[in-house]
Structure 1
């Protein structure tokens, strides 16, 4: 645990190395910004192997692998406007963003997420299970009396329970988005003051002239060391999913549509910056899943991830579809450090690419694969994958995620909360029934 310091403006907790206060967004004094991190996050990322030409391991049981249709998934495909090219010789010296150590205190954010399906807009709301709460205590309830705690039978005063001391959920603290072809759940977690993640889901009508029934989803994770990171993720997710869905609806190739959506999302988040030195920032990962062709197109900047989770012995083996834009992954890929050495560094989880006015020029990544179903495409932030980094472990944690996406998404959030909930948690589960398109490698 890093030594906790306080913001001189609002007295909110601030961890060593933070640039901005998570509570009020003000720039922190130099003694906090420049302080070393005594004990950085030690949760390792998974060994990430390119899907292009990867040899299936014994856990694949002979199932077909996924081969991207247009080269390895880490090939830069879309150059977002702003300066500097990312490549093997420059990754180590690029500016880095690092998330702050989560605060033990809590606070609300008033925004909510929306999902569009078949032209209708539905505003999501916090989950409201029946009282009493489940034995795990991981899902809040909404008592009729606002003076009663959502987590225990205690009473609430100034937003916190006098018995268990927990913050009462409001706004984006817990969000569920349910559409016919996808389910998303986002939760504040147990240690962050607010939910800095955001998601967007759109589903095209089954009778659409182009890409009928296609599912489009975006997940963003606000960078806690930047100001207004919750606003950054919300603006980026909404801009990205709106542009992506519209272009796919018009019949544009999903790869081109993904590139255009990422460019517009980057412009949208850059536009809300007060200055390049005070720029909200976030990660980005998207997916376009087409039932008519069976193709899955993903795009990403940062370390939010996309996975394919196998749903049966005849389906393509579970696989990570993205590669993190992180300092540790860059060091490993360049052969400068072993994974264990990279993960011991204070910069292990620092980002080398993100969306924001201060990101410079970045090469976004776009990849298309055609899995053999059934299974599920899962988008998530590191609040989930930190606990289940390997695709096979993520699939084993919730078997049959594609068959029951709502239960699977909720279960993933519960598992992350049960493991510590040290970060915001967001997951989108997109079921893929299989049989609708060509087999892997035959697109």
Structure 2
């Protein structure tokens, strides 16, 4: 989901905003770094942390913050473990048209085979600030020669410092909330529009590491090791147990900002919050999960399109959602882009782990067309180029909606590609964190830690919704 770039030293693939090459470790040219202007330049509008993402209580989930016991022991009877997906994978037939929810593709819709650089032409372009001039006048003030005061006269007051003391003190126990927002937390520079004019780094916004705990769902989002900000977002809602309709239903959304678009962190936040809120509201009103998912995706697409300055400068992101019915264990997922949903098996009589979505990416399109094998497609520089996303420049897109009813215990896992790039197969995810459904909060943290340990080259977001034993139908079913 980021623009394809190559390292001049080893020709390895790097992402816009990277400071060094993961392959050879060489420092990348200045034009590839944040604050360098052009398409790799900073966003103009920094995003403030949202209460529903930064808290651990009811604000984040419409539910008390204390986790309830959602991991009873699995059934002991051993039966054949039915799969959840046919041999050709999850369906991709369009279910809900988002046409009209977003603006026309004046900037061009990335067609199959196009590089994602094309969709970002003109985005975040602008003159690069002259860093040599930053603070020049203040520096002159610091070193200006002055005559000594005349005998008996009062000494003149000391000249004010051009740059306050650094590093700035933190506020309370929050290391990213600084007392002086005009001072860079990375160097003794001044901050303009959320970025330091000296080092070019984005200032922390409170989203670098976020954890959300609800009674029946848990999520962790982390900036990763190579990005200067977190462009992922998540939102979780749990409907009250005494609600007249859809009691106890869990809805969750994960979005991943498209790095080649402006204000991608804002795009993911707005889309995730809107999608989860509308989805929960429709379920409370008694809507069918598929209808509720379609409505939520349309409203989310409208919301992210509304924040664009123009179709040629449009924030964009991916979208994946899940609705988990606690009574039946049925799972309804909706998606646009390449953020994924998985079923993580609880073992025993539970349905086998499976990928529940199919990426809207160039590589997946090549595989489905039979033009390339999966291994060949993933080796291409265009492997992660999106062919569908949410944003004002997305053109006409169709959302995908699928419903499965797994058997036995397990968990629904939503994630951005910051995790699945390292663990693409459902079986890999299941084996990496055994018993994830029984300890979902700890498992979410472990998944993020594993991605960080594997390189952490992208933002990482994981949401786990456990489905305890005694839920699910007598057999796996697809609607």
In structure 2, stretches of 5+ residues that fail to align are: 1-5, 9-27, 47-77, 121-168, 177-182, 189-198
* 2:104–2:394 Cα contact (<8 Å) kept: no
Superposed counterparts of 1:268-347, under 5 Å: 268-347=303-382
Give the CA deviation at 1:325. Answer: 0.4
Separation (CA, whole Å) in 2 of partners of 1:62 and 1:97: 47
Q: Which residue of 1 aligns with 2:82?
A: 64
Residue 215 (str. 1) matches residue 250 (str. 2): yes
Give the CA deviation at 1:5. Answer: 4.0
Which residue of 384, 397, 409 maps to 2:444?
A: 409
Which residue of 260, 264, 270 maps to 1:235?
A: 270
Residues 360 and 159 of structure 1, relative CA distance in 2, 3 Å threshold:
same
Give the CA deviation at 1:441. Answer: 3.9
Separation (CA, whole Å) in 1 of partners of 2:306 and 2:297: 14
SS in structure 1 at match of 2:457: coil
Which residue of 148, 167, 186 maps to 1:160?
A: 186
- C-alpha distance after superposition, 1:114-163 (max 9, x if no partner): xxxxxxxxxxxxxxxxxxxxxxxxxxxxxx97799979xxxxx942399x
Superposed counterparts of 1:358-369, under 5 Å: 358-369=393-404
Normalising to structure 2: TM-score of the pair?
0.66
* 2:335–2:399 Cα contact (<8 Å) kept: yes
Give the CA deviation at 1:297. Answer: 0.2
Give the CA deviation at 1:12. Answer: 2.4
Residues 403 and 91 of structure 1, relative CA distance in 2, 3 Å threshold:
same
* 1:149–1:168 Cα contact (<8 Å) kept: no
SS in structure 2 at match of 1:216: strand
Separation (CA, whole Å) in 2 of partners of 1:353 and 1:239: 19
* 2:90–2:358 Cα contact (<8 Å) kept: no
Which residue of 69, 89, 92 maps to 2:112?
A: 92
Residue 79 (str. 1) matches residue 105 (str. 2): no
* Structure with larger Rg: 2
* 2:407–2:471 Cα contact (<8 Å) kept: no
Q: How many residues align?
A: 350
Separation (CA, whole Å) in 2 of partners of 1:327 and 1:84: 21
Q: Which residue of 2 aligns with 1:140?
A: none
* 1:96–1:350 Cα contact (<8 Å) kept: yes
Normalising to structure 1: TM-score of the pair?
0.72
Separation (CA, whole Å) in 1 of partners of 2:172 and 2:286: 52
Q: Which residue of 2 aligns with 1:357?
A: 392
Separation (CA, whole Å) in 1 of partners of 2:430 and 2:419: 13
SS in structure 1 at match of 2:475: coil
Give the CA deviation at 1:337. Answer: 1.5
* 1:320–1:391 Cα contact (<8 Å) kept: yes
Give the CA deviation at 1:7. Answer: 5.2
Residues 61 and 397 of structure 1, relative CA distance in 2, 3 Å threshold:
farther
- C-alpha distance after superposition, 1:16-45 (max 9, x if no partner): xx845245589xxxxxxxxxxxxxxxxxxx
SS in structure 2 at match of 1:259: helix
Separation (CA, whole Å) in 1 of partners of 2:313 and 2:302: 16
* 2:339–2:416 Cα contact (<8 Å) kept: yes
Q: Which residue of 2 aligns with 1:439?
A: 474
- C-alpha distance after superposition, 1:300-329 (max 9, x if no partner): 000000000001121000000000000011
* 1:160–1:167 Cα contact (<8 Å) kept: no
Which residue of 29, 35, 41 maps to 1:12?
A: 35
Q: Which residue of 2 aligns with 1:198?
A: 233
Separation (CA, whole Å) in 2 of partners of 1:98 and 1:388: 29
* 2:115–2:382 Cα contact (<8 Å) kept: no
Q: Which residue of 2 aligns with 1:379?
A: 414
* 1:98–1:349 Cα contact (<8 Å) kept: no
Residues 360 and 168 of structure 1, relative CA distance in 2, 3 Å threshold:
closer
Separation (CA, whole Å) in 2 of partners of 1:94 and 1:167: 30
Residues 413 and 442 of structure 1, relative CA distance in 2, 3 Å threshold:
closer
Separation (CA, whole Å) in 1 of partners of 2:358 and 2:84: 15
Residue 2 (str. 1) matches residue 7 (str. 2): yes
Which residue of 148, 172, 182 maps to 2:207?
A: 172
Separation (CA, whole Å) in 2 of partners of 1:283 and 1:161: 33
Separation (CA, whole Å) in 1 of partners of 2:104 and 2:90: 22
- C-alpha distance after superposition, 1:382-413 (max 9, x if no partner): 00110100000101111111111110011111
Separation (CA, whole Å) in 2 of partners of 1:167 and 1:67: 42
- C-alpha distance after superposition, 1:48-102 (max 9, x if no partner): xxxxxxxxxxxx994111158xx953221011024899xxxx96267847999xx
Residues 264 and 294 of structure 1, relative CA distance in 2, 3 Å threshold:
same
Separation (CA, whole Å) in 1 of partners of 2:337 and 2:288: 23
Separation (CA, whole Å) in 2 of partners of 1:306 and 1:289: 12
